[in-house]
Amino acid sequence: MVALKELELIDLHVVRELAIPSLEKLVLIKMPNLEICGSLTASPPLQFLPSQGDQKRWLPTLRRLTIHDCPCLTVSHPLPPSALISDLSIRGVPTVPKMSINSGWFTIESNELSVLDDRILAFHNLRGITSLDIRNCPNLVSLSGEAFSQLTALEYLSIHDCPNLAKSSIMSEVVLENTRSTRSLLLPSLKSLVISTCGITGSWLTQMLSQMQFLEKLVLTDCPAVKFLSISEPSETEGNSSLVSGVMTSAQDEHQLKLSYNLLCSLKKLWIQRSPDLEFYGGKRDFLGFTSLTELLLHGCPKLVSSLVGHMGERKDDGSVEAGLLPPSLEDLSISELPESLRSFIPEGLLYLKKLSLLGNPCLKSVQLHPCIALEVLWIYGCGHLAVLEGLQFLTSLRILYMELSPELSCAWELKLQEQEQSGNRIQLLPPSLEELDIQKLKDGVQSGLLTCLPTITKLVIRESPNLTSLQVGCCRALKELEIRNCGSLASLEGLQFCRNLTSLKVFNSPGVGSFLESVPHQQGGSEVWSGLEALQISDVSVLSVPLCKQLTSLRRLQLGPQVGEQTEITVSLTEELERALHLLTSLQELRFSMCPNLSSFPANLHSLTSLETLDIYNCKSITRLPDMGFPPSLRNLHLNHCSEELGAHCRMAETDKLRVWIDNQYLTSLRRLVFGPQVGEQPEIMVSLTEEQERALQLLTSLQELRFRMCPNLLSFPANLHSLTSLETLQIRHCESITRLPDMGLPSSLRNLQLSNCSEELGAHCRMAATEKLSVMIDAIRDIVHIPALAVTGTFVQLLPTHLAFSKLL
């Protein structure tokens, strides 16, 4: 017999002890009474170790390990058990933290874990991982520097929701009880460190960072014990390797984070969030030393912002301008929650700044943008009292502007435009270089002069502007995308007929715009706009009319119905006018119905859309059947999300080798697992045999690896073409008592596991005869094994060795 390489035991209630050989894959799921598993637990003589005395190699070949819901299992060895492990999932084992490995990313979480060291994890088997995520460990207080130093390939470390980690009030006790935690974390390859909602002190983090030579990204979020930020000189951190040395220092040193000198040249991204008490505590020029820093995000730390930018732009006694403490290398700066005392912001000295975001600063009154000569992207949101925005029109490199207009700024701009009219002087509010503009709370008095000088704008979004009644877009000749959202009073788009490059139009929750669009085809030049439109999304389905659709000769994508979050469409069925209008869209390739829960049927003439390739139905739960005339032969993709089960069943049957069906984002022909029949406790399925349509559909599932039939007591036979499922590995039959024989064409050659439960004796006998070295057969949870030289039964003890297996009756 070939040595056993893979073992899966699922839902076996009477097994208490298990001894296993050296495997490549081990799966233990829902084993409620399993107490001892050899090579995982150290309880001789049931323990089986490939190399006695060398615990580092106790399962040396294991690559995949899954243990779920084994509440009595005691794991005596640190995990993972092998350096070859690439797929690990542990949960529901009381003595072991929840952990997983997926694509080189290791995650661990535990409510009980207090010290993370080599008694918990086999760090020597984790040397190949590149990412580590420690999360949701409320009682974790210490990390072992000695153990972590073995993670030589680690590039990304994140620590989330560990409120007691390195907390000063308990670290002294940890030092006394566990001396192995006193060494600094030495992670030579680390590039990214993310810490959020943790109790770490500044001194602890200082020692950790002092050992990192190549760190590129540092993220601190909600770390209240870090209250001071400074830059250390080389001599301040040399020779100090204790992670807990901060416990013995003064209170200020304990809370002070000293960014080590070695980070000045490596750190590229620094994010600090939700740190209201953090402030800069250092020399005036220290922060300027970050010569490689290109991205700085300061959200919810007003004291720190005040220290770094509080005097930026102010005039000195000698007449020069204060440049502040931000490094000139910055390319991306994002600031929120400025201190109330800071009413003006002038980003002086940031000559390379390309992106600036000012978010949630209600006290900010003035922003001077003259120094930002390289700025390309600007975000201004939540600045409700902003009254002055100087220099915006001179930013010749600005391409993208996202902006929420405050009442004060709106009034100031409106006043400027009125002065322009009186004086005859042309006033430009926005730079002519803009390509994208997304603006909120726009009013009539401003819009008339806002868009007049934007020759290169290609995308315009107007949202959340309930008082806007008219929008002039005639000067935006290069406009390709126009989106209107939540503008309840907007009734006209003046000059739309001149936007002849328009290819995409989206109108949501703006009923007046929908009514206006009906009149555009009758305007001079309107037909040219509509004939070039390729995408239309609109929440008011009644807008589509025969005259409009006659001109939509290039339309490729159409969405009817509101977006998520808007009021649902009440349409029950399409009107005759809308049916005729849709029939005219001969170039339509993609059609989507969204948020129409009362819509009861597809368009009657859907089959006539001979170019349609994709049909997407979202949250239209009243549609229960396919259109009577069927789908157009050109259809290749059918997407259903949050629709009725009846419609889903019909669509499954409609899938062919040319038509792909996705239901709730799952592509059926890439389906790996399929279950026929109800859940336990539900009414049994009355199906006697699969229909011809079901047989044909089943053959299309070429990627199917697992197929289950359950609670089908009247089902007389297997699918006739079961042998054609060339990827099928597992076939499970439960409570299908009427099936008495195997399919005439046999089982797929790929089949490796055949499981029967509560089936007929005749079927059981046939399946036993079908067992081979490649095909494992389990009947009522007892595995039939062929070519076994020895068999022994010992109580409830199951032993699997390379040359023989011993097991008991499990049920």
Q: Give the pLDDT of residue 40.
A: 66
Pairing assessment for the beta strands 355-359 and 332-336 based on DSSP bridges: parallel
Q: Give the pLDDT of residue 233.
A: 66
Pairing assessment for the beta strands 332-336 and 388-390 based on DSSP bridges: unpaired
Q: Give the pLDDT of residue 801.
A: 38
Amino acid at 456: T
Give the H/E segment covering residue 548.
helix 546-551
Region 512-517: what's the mean pLDDT? 84
Q: Give the pLDDT of residue 18.
A: 84
Q: Which residue has the higher pLDDT, 60 or 669?
A: 60
Q: How far apart are CA 221 and CA 163, in angstroms?
A: 12
Q: Give the pLDDT of residue 723.
A: 87
pLDDT in tens, 209-261: 888 889 999 999 999 999 999 887 655 444 443 333 333 345 667 889 988 87
Sign of CA dihedral 500, 502, 507, 510: negative
pLDDT in tens, 590-642: 999 988 888 889 998 899 999 999 999 998 999 999 998 889 999 999 999 88
Give the H/E segment covering residue 421.
helix 407-423
Burial of 222 (C-beta count, 10 Å sphere; 0-12/13-18/19+)? middle
Q: Give the pLDDT of residue 685.
A: 67
Q: How far apart are CA 248 and CA 172, in angstroms?
A: 8
| Angle (nearest 5°) at CA 589 between 583 and 592 | 80
Q: Give the pLDDT of residue 545.
A: 85
Residues 6+ apart with CB under 8 A from 277: 224, 227, 303
Which CA distances in Å does 791 have to 45, 47, 671, 805? 19, 19, 38, 6
Q: How far apart are CA 310 and CA 346, in angstroms?
A: 9
pLDDT in tens, 580-600: 999 899 999 999 998 888 888
Amino acid at 802: P
- Please give the structure tokens belonging to residue 531: 């004939």
Banded model confidence at residue 668, pLDDT cuts 50, 70, 90: low
Pairing assessment for the beta strands 797-800 and 805-806 based on DSSP bridges: antiparallel
Banded model confidence at residue 300, pLDDT cuts 50, 70, 90: very high
Q: Give the pLDDT of residue 458.
A: 96
Tell me if 3 sits within 8 A of 21, measured CB to CB: yes
Q: How far apart are CA 118 and CA 142, in angstroms?
A: 12
Q: Which residue has the higher pLDDT, 313 or 62?
A: 62
Banded model confidence at residue 669, pLDDT cuts 50, 70, 90: low
- Please give the structure tokens belonging to residue 652: 């499954």
Helices and strands (H and E) in the chain: how many? 15, 48
pLDDT in tens, 354-386: 999 999 888 899 999 988 999 999 999 999 999
Q: How far apart are CA 171 and CA 200, in angstroms?
A: 10
Percent of the chain topping pLDDT 70: 83
Banded model confidence at residue 168, pLDDT cuts 50, 70, 90: low
DSSP 124: G
Tell me if 376 sits within 8 A of 397, measured CB to CB: yes
Task: Report the SS3 class of residue 127.
Answer: coil
Q: Give the pLDDT of residue 527.
A: 80
Count CA atoms within 13 Å of residue 160 on its CB side: 8
Percent of the chain topping pLDDT 90: 37
Amino acid at 405: L
Banded model confidence at residue 281, pLDDT cuts 50, 70, 90: confident
Q: Give the pLDDT of residue 785.
A: 40
Pairing assessment for the beta strands 269-273 and 279-280 based on DSSP bridges: unpaired
Banded model confidence at residue 442, pLDDT cuts 50, 70, 90: very high
Q: Give the pLDDT of residue 635.
A: 94
Q: Give the pLDDT of residue 686.
A: 73
Tell me if 143 sits within 8 A of 180, measured CB to CB: no
Other CB atoms closer than 10 Å to residue 402's CB: what's the count? 17
Residues 6+ apart with CB under 8 A from 732: 706, 707, 708, 709, 710, 753, 755, 756, 757
Q: How far apart are CA 793 and CA 809, in angstroms?
A: 8
- Please give the structure tokens belonging to residue 788: 């076994």
Give the H/E segment covering residue 310.
none
| Angle (nearest 5°) at CA 179 between 175 and 180 | 125
Label each residue of 548-594 as H, E or C: HHHHCCCCCEEEECCCCCCCCCCCCCCCHHHHHHHHCCCCCCEEEEE
Count CA atoms within 13 Å of residue 13 on its CB side: 2
Give the H/E segment covering residue 615.
strand 614-618
Going by C-alpha positions, the residue among 581, 579, 578, 580 that lies closest to residue 555 is 581
Count CA atoms within 13 Å of residue 718 on its CB side: 25
Q: Is the pLDDT of residue 502 over 80?
A: yes
The residue assigned the tokens 């430009």 is 428
Q: Give the pLDDT of residue 497.
A: 86
Pairing assessment for the beta strands 98-102 and 87-91 based on DSSP bridges: antiparallel
DSSP string of 651-690? HHHH--SS-EEEETTEEGGG--EEEESPPTTSPPP---S-
Task: Report the SS3 class of residue 135.
Answer: strand
Give the H/E segment covering residue 758.
none
Tell me if 316 sits within 8 A of 339, measured CB to CB: no
Going by C-alpha positions, the residue among 460, 449, 389 that lies closest to residue 421 is 449
Give the H/E segment covering residue 280.
strand 279-280
Q: Buried b vs exposed e over 223-243: b needs ≥16 C-beta within 10 Å?
A: bbbbbbbbbbeeeebeeebbb
- Please give the structure tokens belonging to residue 565: 């979050």
Q: Give the pLDDT of residue 1.
A: 36
Q: How far apart are CA 134 and CA 147, in angstroms?
A: 15
Strand partners, 592: 559, 616
Sheet holding 366-368, edge to edge: 344-345, 366-368, 388-390
Q: Is the pLDDT of residue 55 over 50?
A: no
Region 571-578: what's the mean pLDDT? 82
Banded model confidence at residue 39, pLDDT cuts 50, 70, 90: low
Strand partners, 784: 777
Count CA atoms within 13 Å of residue 466 on its CB side: 0
Q: Give the pLDDT of residue 43.
A: 41
Q: Is the pLDDT of residue 429 over 80?
A: yes
Region 322-328: what's the mean pLDDT? 75
Q: Give the pLDDT of residue 799.
A: 41
Region 51-78: what's the mean pLDDT? 75
What average pLDDT does the structure give for the chain?
Answer: 82
Which CA distances in Å does 245 have to 28, 179, 206? 43, 13, 10
Q: Give the pLDDT of residue 805.
A: 33
Amino acid at 338: L
Going by C-alpha positions, the residue among 573, 560, 472 that lies closest to residue 508 is 560
Q: Which residue has the higher pLDDT, 533 or 702?
A: 533
pLDDT in tens, 681-735: 666 767 788 877 677 677 767 778 889 888 888 888 898 889 888 889 999 998 8
pLDDT in tens, 778-806: 887 655 443 333 222 233 334 443 323 32
- Please give the structure tokens belonging to residue 777: 């057969």
Tell me if 236 sits within 8 A of 259, measured CB to CB: no
Q: Is the pLDDT of residue 417 over 80?
A: yes
Q: Is the pLDDT of residue 314 over 70?
A: no
Q: Give the pLDDT of residue 250.
A: 59
Banded model confidence at residue 678, pLDDT cuts 50, 70, 90: confident
Task: Report the SS3 class of residue 173.
Answer: helix
Going by C-alpha positions, the residue among 419, 426, 415, 389 that lies closest to residue 404 is 389
In this structure, of 104-108, 702-706, 741-745, the range with the lowest mean pLDDT score is 702-706
- What are φ and ψ of residue 411, in 5° steps? -65, -40
Q: How far apart are CA 121 and CA 133, in angstroms?
A: 14
Q: Give the pLDDT of residue 614.
A: 94
Burial of 644 (C-beta count, 10 Å sphere; 0-12/13-18/19+)? middle
In this structure, of 165-179, 183-197, 322-336, 484-498, the range with the lowest mean pLDDT score is 165-179
In this structure, of 136-140, 553-557, 718-722, 793-797, the range with the lowest mean pLDDT score is 793-797
Q: Give the pLDDT of residue 461.
A: 96
